[in-house]
Structure 1
């Protein structure tokens, strides 16, 4: 697809698919689609329109993403393959076949990462930021580094000899170490040593510089000071290596004490099998064999790296002291409506429903909502879901304060939030000590729904204020994740939220919900019913349109429903940031579906779906929803998620004509998906204005958050040119 305006351009001529449209070929493999997304992230590190240090950040993110992919997804496929499981995925590939394709693509990705780093290092050096090697050091540098080593590094080191009296030590997930072959200067006695690179110290050591910044990787500092660690020895050979271990958790189905079971499982994760080991190229054969044999690693699991190992640490070099190399400063807005009511969140919400678009509107409003509730003597109860939150969470602080003040506080803490399990255990214990009721939901389902409920006494009645979100209650990630926050005192949505909490805390399955669909009960079936309703409109000759935005689309039943809709003539436009298992633009299957991905300054995270409802889009009578759920099997079948119908006219207009329209119109940071599953950067003819939806949102306030002085019209899709 070559159109530059996804919102208004006609659909491309469909492509032919030389395969059975009813068979597995109609799906794109989930894992390969994820790798394609990470390639897009890496390509932003090469994008000259992105500031230099932000490009370095994108490189770091691509490395972090790949590490997590291996420790979870590849680890799971490995287990299936080792168990002899040959059950194919929806696209027809067996676990073994997927592993082979992943390995090939991931190795190419890692080679590309090194090339990107070399290019960035050159540009950084020109900008006064130098990553040094040993040959770049002057004697004054070496003298300075000796003092740094003795004062700040040596006390933390634990060099470990490897011999019959000193067995090979355990290295945790993401463990980074140097393997050394030493020789005594006098008697020539050999000594093999493992030197773990401490994770408690910054990976890059700052060097003195007259101007700019100079850094030396920590492992290079260690190699320079081997004689201080092993007096009387010299290095005969060395190599660096870094491990990734299986980090997926397995729980007993009938865990009597879920917290204790998770604590045990976290310890097992630390000791999981090695799924990938990066090793510096040119490692001495004896050291390579020793490390591989002790860690039970095969050649297929080793990736030789000619360059920097552990690129995720490059993020440490992205500092605020070079604003000229970062995105221009952006301060999230406080909604005018809240300002009009002198910061009173309850008064602002009583006026009418309010939808905030983060990070453009500050997430502090969510924190203020709960802090105000904690301090308000008229508030009698607070209920809150917590999936991911920050280490010193102001939301948890507010909940604790409310509980200590005698308010009824119920917190649903999801222990199964991957890589945040330990933090959530700590948060749950803090809440319990303060007197809050802490529940953990279901053993078999993750609770991923984002709901906050405040019950307030107003006169002789109780009024329920509800917050529904598409993202986590995490003030740090909310600075870069695009998410939606709906604040409402609509009684129907308040009753629905109360029923969801009863379901989570007491297994009381709700019999009816008024404006809410939840998985695993009704969300998936409702989505398919609404897709089928658009088919009915198309068959009746009415406008039939679906717009949707999410992180991932791989649920096969939903994809097949979209295929049916396309074949019936429904026009479907999808904004999918990451994984997409649907093939768009194929004759006889999906010629009326197009898919794009937006990768830019902010991480697209909100989930939205709009159905034309026989009136097309945008239209006042369309059905509009925001959700916590991606369209994946886990979200629709194995998690507690929400799909909230938006009934307020202003909020509906904001979602359809502002948020979705801007996402569909974006060309500056969009990638368009082809029938073969590949993505190409949206073409922008020379001299043509490239619309950037992130810039647009930074410059235009959210419609429903405007105050008495604001206009009611939806802003036009324009912004200041780059």
Structure 2
């Protein structure tokens, strides 16, 4: 099988070759992120993806872009306005980056509208129709009259704009209609605003024949009933607009009450400065000027949209009732070994270490692990990190139950988890009411590690059962994110977990760790050391290889270590879902490095690194690690993160021979990074396309096998790299 990482090297022009030792050896972080979102958007145009899943990808691309503006662009904008000219690693100043971002982002938004129009045509052919006011029948209008009066009118607040009625505050992501009106009685003009509540659906469903679906945008419903909102007035003109505000939080370093400080900061986020104003094309000039003036938006911050404003809202149109237009249904597996032990997680883990691959194996096993701990009279203590979790979290419920049962429960809640701060504050208060010890960690570091530790009395001994994860304790995202859950009762890994908890709760920096590296103490130096060992092996004439998988790669010291290893002869294959600051395949710099990105049905989220350790990969003697950290400056220098070595042979084989080999072999949903920073997507024929997602859905994992499959041959993939 030909691996998708076997692609041709495209040499840089001579002028670029001379610059490989300087800033140009790096790809700009922000432009690389935009390139990732282009890949997401192209899934909305991929005919191999079911129709409504393409609509979902379109919505995701818009949500991603909104967050990019409210966080990354907002930060660059502040730097540029302050006159900061400090270049990024690639040599671009904040102002230069903003200019390039503006061009690329506008092209991306134009492409989103083009994709939407194409999807609308296909949806119409499939019986899903988007209407406007001109398409409505008398029966439709009668139905909508009832919908408006009973479901929409009570929550609307129409606002006149005049000296007695100042322009209202529009929150981040707020969507509004601006109106020019004329009173019929005396032709007196009125400018008005109609904020559209975020608590209501953006699209109103209309009656339709069986098998059909018909929708009307909410703004069309409002325009249809302006006479109910502004009796006696006629409409002269209108436009729609949407606001994006600076959403980065600032928290005082010496805050005495961290929870209260974050509550104040969340209110400030809603009122942050406008970073983007999206407004419908053809807006009346007076209204356009008024909106810009009141929101203090410059021309550079205004984006005119010809089409739908708020593309992220299109996720409402992904209809569960149309399975023919969605991915085929998939039910995550329960590991055979857990079934062999009648659901007893502790017994399954005692048998040997176990690695679960989500979402292919159900995240319910993580919940079961904690529920069992909460109910088990022999469990004395539970310690848990919480970075992101669901609104009604079964993890938090289990911890509360354990605390109420008198067990010692410690929860490390990260208040700085972006856009989940409010939810985490609510969860922390719930835990405190139940009697758990709630710790918020460091002011200067985010606690991003994913650890759960259960101490159980077994005979005269205390045994620590530990879960290390690559993803959050979030049962909803675990259905679509690919992540790893590693369960062990290895005493050394249990002690290491306790040391991490003590470090965060009591600032007790561990003097030594047995099987773990952590940020910000030693993970970065350990990774560079391991990469260096592979480089030395290559210089000594021995096989040397690195396989790594992550979401983002931009840490410059680590990239330089990879460059040095490449030129020493180490074969390096990287699977980087999103941002990549490394240039692969450059002669004299990275000739032995290949980079691919996988974008498909599931969001690649697991972090893995494998070192050849004197052999090529795959190899049973490889050193294999899973991690909570991407290779970014924030993860390696300013967060609490874990890098866990997996030594159990079956777990290692699962990671190397199954997970990583399948990722390397994927051709159906893979992109390849060229030396110039451009991503290219080979489109193999149906008989040549190999999908790692399909492979994982169809084949159980090695370490979760039970006695029923003990004699069966498990599928493994051999990866062979050309060149």
User: Same fold by TM (over 0.5)?
Assistant: yes
Q: In structure 1, what is the Cα distance between the partners aligned to 2:11 and 2:162?
A: 65
Q: Which moved more, 1:249-258 or 1:468-477?
A: 249-258
What's the CA shift for 1:709? 1.7
3-state DSSP class of the match of 1:483? strand
Q: In structure 2, what is the Cα distance between the partners aligned to 1:271 and 1:412?
A: 29
What's the CA shift for 1:578? 0.2
What's the CA shift for 1:581? 0.1
Does structure 2 conserve the Cα–Cα contact (< 8 Å) formed by 1:374 and 1:402?
Answer: yes
Does structure 2 conserve the Cα–Cα contact (< 8 Å) formed by 1:658 and 1:714?
Answer: no
Q: Which residue of 2 aligns with 1:427?
A: 427
Does structure 1 conserve the Cα–Cα contact (< 8 Å) formed by 2:80 and 2:94?
Answer: yes
3-state DSSP class of the match of 2:86? coil
3-state DSSP class of the match of 1:663? helix
Q: Which residue of 1 aligns with 2:689?
A: 690
Q: In structure 2, what is the Cα distance between the partners aligned to 1:295 and 1:384?
A: 43
Matches within 5 A, 1:195-594: 195-211=194-210, 212-594=212-594
Does structure 1 conserve the Cα–Cα contact (< 8 Å) formed by 2:4 and 2:670?
Answer: no
What's the CA shift for 1:159? 0.4
What's the CA shift for 1:648? 0.4
3-state DSSP class of the match of 1:106? helix
Q: In structure 2, what is the Cα distance between the partners aligned to 1:12 and 1:482?
A: 29
Q: In structure 1, what is the Cα distance between the partners aligned to 2:235 and 2:135?
A: 20
What are the superposed Cα offsets for residues 89-145 of structure 1, whole Å, 9 maximum, x if unpaired?
A: 000000000000000000000000000000000000111101111221112111211
Q: Which residue of 2 aligns with 1:6?
A: 4
Give the TM-score taking structure 2 as reference length. Answer: 0.98
What are the superposed Cα offsets for residues 394-441 of structure 1, whole Å, 9 maximum, x if unpaired?
A: 000000000000000000000000000000000000000000000000
Does structure 1 conserve the Cα–Cα contact (< 8 Å) formed by 2:516 and 2:645?
Answer: yes
Q: 1:585 to 1:348 in 2, by over 3 A?
A: same
What's the CA shift for 1:231? 1.1
What's the CA shift for 1:688? 4.1
Q: Which residue of 1 aligns with 2:131?
A: 132
3-state DSSP class of the match of 2:697? helix
Q: In structure 2, what is the Cα distance between the partners aligned to 1:480 and 1:638?
A: 28
Q: Which residue of 2 aligns with 1:45?
A: 44
Does structure 2 conserve the Cα–Cα contact (< 8 Å) formed by 1:184 and 1:190?
Answer: yes
Q: Which residue of 1 aligns with 2:650?
A: 650
What's the CA shift for 1:514? 0.5
Does structure 1 conserve the Cα–Cα contact (< 8 Å) formed by 2:356 and 2:486?
Answer: yes
3-state DSSP class of the match of 1:610? strand
Q: Which residue of 2 aligns with 1:113?
A: 112
Does structure 2 conserve the Cα–Cα contact (< 8 Å) formed by 1:654 and 1:714?
Answer: no
What's the CA shift for 1:14? 4.8
Matched, 1:706 2:705: yes
Q: In structure 1, what is the Cα distance between the partners aligned to 2:651 and 2:506?
A: 33
Q: Which residue of 2 aligns with 1:79?
A: 78
Q: In structure 2, what is the Cα distance between the partners aligned to 1:713 and 1:250?
A: 55
Does structure 2 conserve the Cα–Cα contact (< 8 Å) formed by 1:671 and 1:679?
Answer: yes
Matches within 5 A, 1:27-106: 27-106=26-105
Q: Which residue of 1 aligns with 2:660?
A: 660
What's the CA shift for 1:11? 6.5
Does structure 2 conserve the Cα–Cα contact (< 8 Å) formed by 1:700 and 1:715?
Answer: yes
What are the superposed Cα offsets for residues 626-676 of structure 1, whole Å, 9 maximum, x if unpaired?
A: 000000000000000000001100000000000000000000000000001
Q: In structure 2, what is the Cα distance between the partners aligned to 1:660 and 1:497?
A: 26
Q: 1:630 to 1:433 in 2, by over 3 A?
A: same
Q: In structure 2, what is the Cα distance between the partners aligned to 1:443 and 1:65?
A: 27
Q: In structure 2, what is the Cα distance between the partners aligned to 1:19 and 1:683?
A: 33
Q: Which residue of 1 aligns with 2:721?
A: none
What are the superposed Cα offsets for residues 215-256 of structure 1, whole Å, 9 maximum, x if unpaired?
A: 000001000100111111100010000000000000111111
Q: In structure 1, what is the Cα distance between the partners aligned to 2:12 and 2:88?
A: 24
What's the CA shift for 1:714? 4.0
Q: Which residue of 2 aligns with 1:162?
A: 161
Does structure 1 conserve the Cα–Cα contact (< 8 Å) formed by 2:528 and 2:561?
Answer: yes
3-state DSSP class of the match of 2:703? helix
Q: In structure 2, what is the Cα distance between the partners aligned to 1:683 and 1:434?
A: 54
What are the superposed Cα offsets for residues 552-587 of structure 1, whole Å, 9 maximum, x if unpaired?
A: 000000000000001101000000000000000000
Q: 1:341 to 1:101 in 2, by over 3 A?
A: same
Does structure 2 conserve the Cα–Cα contact (< 8 Å) formed by 1:14 and 1:591?
Answer: no
Does structure 2 conserve the Cα–Cα contact (< 8 Å) formed by 1:13 and 1:591?
Answer: no
Q: In structure 2, what is the Cα distance between the partners aligned to 1:60 and 1:394?
A: 28
3-state DSSP class of the match of 2:20? coil
Q: In structure 2, what is the Cα distance between the partners aligned to 1:19 and 1:450?
A: 43
Q: In structure 2, what is the Cα distance between the partners aligned to 1:186 and 1:388?
A: 56
Q: In structure 2, what is the Cα distance between the partners aligned to 1:366 and 1:19?
A: 51
Does structure 1 conserve the Cα–Cα contact (< 8 Å) formed by 2:609 and 2:625?
Answer: yes
Q: In structure 2, what is the Cα distance between the partners aligned to 1:493 and 1:610?
A: 19
Which segments of 5 or more consecutive residues in structure 1 lack a partner in the other structure? none
3-state DSSP class of the match of 1:703? coil
What's the CA shift for 1:10? 7.6
Matches within 5 A, 1:616-635: 616-635=616-635
Count residues with an aligned counterpart: 714
Does structure 2 conserve the Cα–Cα contact (< 8 Å) formed by 1:653 and 1:714?
Answer: no
Give the TM-score taking structure 1 as reference length. Answer: 0.98
Q: In structure 1, what is the Cα distance between the partners aligned to 2:254 and 2:673?
A: 43
What are the superposed Cα offsets for residues 53-75 of structure 1, whole Å, 9 maximum, x if unpaired?
A: 00000000000000000000000
What's the CA shift for 1:390? 0.2
Q: In structure 1, what is the Cα distance between the partners aligned to 2:327 and 2:248?
A: 35
* Backbone CA RMSD of aligned residues: 1.2
3-state DSSP class of the match of 2:473? coil
What's the CA shift for 1:5? 1.5
3-state DSSP class of the match of 2:423? helix
What are the superposed Cα offsets for residues 154-176 of structure 1, whole Å, 9 maximum, x if unpaired?
A: 00000010000000000100000
What's the CA shift for 1:388? 0.1
Q: In structure 2, what is the Cα distance between the partners aligned to 1:670 and 1:523?
A: 29
Q: In structure 2, what is the Cα distance between the partners aligned to 1:633 and 1:682?
A: 31
Does structure 1 conserve the Cα–Cα contact (< 8 Å) formed by 2:10 and 2:675?
Answer: no
3-state DSSP class of the match of 2:707? coil
Q: In structure 2, what is the Cα distance between the partners aligned to 1:353 and 1:693?
A: 24
3-state DSSP class of the match of 1:22? coil
3-state DSSP class of the match of 1:201? coil
What are the superposed Cα offsets for residues 442-492 of structure 1, whole Å, 9 maximum, x if unpaired?
A: 000000000000000000110000000000000000000000000000001
Q: In structure 2, what is the Cα distance between the partners aligned to 1:689 and 1:87?
A: 47
Q: In structure 2, what is the Cα distance between the partners aligned to 1:537 and 1:6?
A: 26
Q: In structure 2, what is the Cα distance between the partners aligned to 1:255 and 1:425?
A: 15
Which segments of 5 or more consecutive residues in structure 2 lack a partner in the other structure? 719-723
Does structure 2 conserve the Cα–Cα contact (< 8 Å) formed by 1:548 and 1:573?
Answer: yes
Q: Which residue of 2 aligns with 1:606?
A: 606
Q: In structure 1, what is the Cα distance between the partners aligned to 2:4 and 2:170?
A: 49
Q: In structure 2, what is the Cα distance between the partners aligned to 1:141 and 1:489?
A: 63
